């Protein structure tokens, strides 16, 4: 898998899972211990989290890091891929 493909999968899954849980960016950012601005950059693909932070993001979304990096796990309803 190429780095850009991985970045795209991650950003799509972060947003889809957040929407699935009906959370705002501010809600999930607070749970993960990051700023809303940082979360927005993750969802837009401008940033990629460190591995230790990926675990915190997954915990905030009640899922696993592996799931966030998997193809077509979450239904991207309303998500621009």
The residue extents of the domains of the chain are 3-66
Tell whether the model's pLDDT for residue 39 goes beyond 80.
yes
Number of H-type helices and E-type strands within the chain: 5, 0
How many C-beta neighbours within 10 Å does residue 15 have?
23
Once rounded to an integer, what is the mean pLDDT over residues 44-67?
Answer: 95
Average per-residue pLDDT for the chain: 90
C-alpha 37/C-alpha 52 separation (Å) is 19
Tell whether the model's pLDDT for residue 76 goes beyond 80.
no
Question: What is the predicted pLDDT for the residue at 73?
Answer: 64
Question: What is the predicted pLDDT for the residue at 1?
Answer: 72
DSSP 24: -
Domain 3-66 homologous superfamily, CATH: lambda repressor-like DNA-binding domains (1.10.260.40)
With beta carbons less than 8 A apart as the criterion, state whether 74 and 16 touch.
yes
Unique residue bearing structure tokens 């850009």 = 4
77 vs 69, residue with greater confidence: 69
Question: What is the predicted pLDDT for the residue at 67?
Answer: 94
C-alpha 63/C-alpha 60 separation (Å) is 8
Q: Can you give the pTM of this predicted structure?
A: 0.85
């Amino acid at each position: 898998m190429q780095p850009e493909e991985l970045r795209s999968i991650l950003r799509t899954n972060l947003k889809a899972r957040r929407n699935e849980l009906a959370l705002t960016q501010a809600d999930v950012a607070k749970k993960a211990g990051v700023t809303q601005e940082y979360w927005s950059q993750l969802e837009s693909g401008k940033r990629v989290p460190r591995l230790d932070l990926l675990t915190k993001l997954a915990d905030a979304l009640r899922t696993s890091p592996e799931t966030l990096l998997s193809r077509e796990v979450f239904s991207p309803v309303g998500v621009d891929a």
